[in-house]
Amino acid sequence: MQQLYSIISLVIHPFLYFALKIRVLKKKEHQQRFKEKLGYSSIEKKKNIIWFHVSSLGEIKSIHSLIKYYQKKPELNLLITSVTLSSYEYFKKNFENKNTLHQFAPLDTSIIVNRFLKHWEPKLSIFVESELWPNMIFQSSKNSKLILLNCRISKKSFEKWKFFKKFFFKIINTFEVVLPQSYEVKKILDYFNLKNIKYIGNLKFTNLEKRNPNIIRIEKNTNSWAAMSIHSDEMDQIIDVHLELGKKINTLTSFLIPRHLDKIDHIIKIIKNKNIKYQRISENNYVKKFNGIVVVDKFGIAEDIFNSVNTVFLGGSLINHGGQNPMEPILYNCKVITGNNYFNFTEIYDDLVKRKLATIVRDKKELIENLSTQLIKVEEKSPNLLFQEFSGDILKDTVKLIDSYIY
């Protein structure tokens, strides 16, 4: 299989320049720097290069704290390669300095990869998530030790790799160590009888920063909660949750944050038909204590709401949509609740549920019961503190492992 892959990559190699030029015309590649994907570099070569290879924006964000840590090491030079323009923009904004360099990632042919490696000669090569390019991996292993960081293998990819079990084993076994991002990924890797697997945790938990826009003012109310990214098919259920809770809890303020703002008029109509008191943020950005629904009909203010409520329900999970990312509300000290359709964020929720940082409900009835408990419950330790503890441990243990290959 490896030989066949190498032959195919050699066959397509002569056409890659023209393919990149077409992408430049479509504004999908950097106009001046697209040749970097052919392995060329105009950047001056440096010593003690630690190479981080990512694909796109999500992957470069996932190693944000790690890059910041190693930027404090003056004896090291960091090279970050990425594929997309958005990841390059993120690099420029957050990391660029004289000891931290960026190049667009080389395409996976032996000629291009050799050209890239000959120039940079990395001391250690770190691949992130699912960047399993055979030529790059096999040839890099001849020049430096390799680490696969925050490894992600989807169930769909797993089914494909089962047909090429020996080839997958050879690729993954080339790494000195593989750090899966979840127990689910570890179980997939265990199927291939690999011995170089070490579970630490998901690096994505280490890369969140608070942002307080202060666009709206909210009077403190312990009887308040937010329903975030609610889809149209969930709207009736969420409004009914407020209606039922409001019968039991005085001055219950429910912040309703729709997924799509073009449905606001329809949402207001439902609320009016149920005789519920409401307030639109676009008309009044000062929220006092009241038994009603605050309709958030503007973008960019979720952080203000997270900063004032105790509990957040994340939408797209009472329907077959896949849920929403729970990490931001936890950062703001909120208890998180989701429906059981959270398949887009399975690894994240599984970890959070084990650590009692998230709760799963099956339907509207369970959501009402859970909110009734959560709104009056006093935590011994805040979700934010628990989150900081385990995310800090993930970063510390990852650094310790990487250091063992650098020094």
CATH number, domain at 64?
3.40.50.11720
253 plus 356 within the same structural domain: yes
Q: What is the mean pLDDT of residues 135-156?
A: 93
Least confident range from 54-68, 130-144, 252-266, 375-389: namely 375-389
* Alpha helices (H) in 262-306, listed in sequence order: 264-273, 302-306
Examine residue 176 and state whether it is found in any structural domain, yes or no: yes
- Are the beta carbons of 147 and 177 closer than 8 angstroms? yes
166 plus 300 within the same structural domain: no
281 plus 251 within the same structural domain: yes
Confidence of residue 134 (pLDDT cuts 50, 70, 90): very high
Least confident range from 50-59, 309-318, 351-360: namely 351-360
Examine residue 193 and state whether it is found in any structural domain, yes or no: yes
* β 253-258/224-230 pair status: parallel
Q: What is the pLDDT of residue 379?
A: 55
List the CATH number of the domain containing 315. 3.40.50.2000
111 plus 150 within the same structural domain: yes
Q: What is the pLDDT of residue 129?
A: 92
Q: How far apart are CA 328 and CA 325, in angstroms?
A: 7
Nearest to 203 by CA among 403, 7, 396: 396
71 plus 46 within the same structural domain: yes
Examine residue 5 and state whether it is found in any structural domain, yes or no: no
- Are the beta carbons of 316 and 259 closer than 8 angstroms? yes
Q: What is the mean pLDDT of residues 204-210?
A: 77
Nearest to 396 by CA among 200, 151, 208, 125: 200
Which H or E run includes 203? none
196 plus 257 within the same structural domain: no
Q: What stretches of 26-163 adopt beta strand conformation (E)?
A: 49-53, 77-82, 100-104, 124-128, 145-151
Q: What is the pLDDT of residue 183?
A: 84
142 plus 176 within the same structural domain: yes
Examine residue 383 and state whether it is found in any structural domain, yes or no: no
224 plus 78 within the same structural domain: no
Q: What is the pLDDT of residue 347?
A: 79
Query: Where in the sequence is the domain holding 107, given as residue range(s)?
Result: 28-204+395-406
Examine residue 15 and state whether it is found in any structural domain, yes or no: no
Number of domains the chain contains: 2
157 plus 250 within the same structural domain: no
84 plus 196 within the same structural domain: yes
- Summarize pLDDT for 329-359 with one digit per residue, the tens: 888 888 899 999 998 888 789 888 888 889 9
166 plus 304 within the same structural domain: no
